[in-house]
Amino acid sequence: MRNHKWEASEKATLMYAVQAHGLQWRDIQGTYFPALSQAQVKFKYYYLKRQQDNKPNRCDDMRGFVVDGAAEKRQPCRKGALLSELLRIMGAE
């Protein structure tokens, strides 16, 4: 099943199931979530766990590197422009 929308009751069931069965994803998936894959169940658990621990989502970490409007637009490179710029910087021109 793709793009499963998790209900609050399913999230609670998942957390209970992990307490009861440990990290036995095959057992948890087969018993509580037969319509989902083991990977979906496991991913959701770790996602919820990160939220509980107040750790940011990895996607949120990447947003810190992107600053709107801060990057200059690159200009197309003209023949010799790079060499001329390098010579200018080095003071050879």
pLDDT at 78: 67
pLDDT tens, 28-85? 999 999 999 999 999 999 999 998 888 666 655 555 555 555 555 566 666 677 777 7
> Tokens 């496991």 label which residue?
42
Angle at 27 between CA 7 and CA 1, to 5 degrees: 45
Spans of all domains in the chain: 8-59
Tokens in use for 25? 């994803």
d(CA 44, CA 48): 6
What average pLDDT does the segment 19-27 reach?
95
For the segment 15-40, the average pLDDT, to the nearest whole number, is 95
Looking at 2.40.300, 1.10.1760, 1.10.10, 1.10.150, the CATH number of the domain 8-59 comes to 1.10.10
CA–CA separation, 92 vs 33, rounded Å? Answer: 70
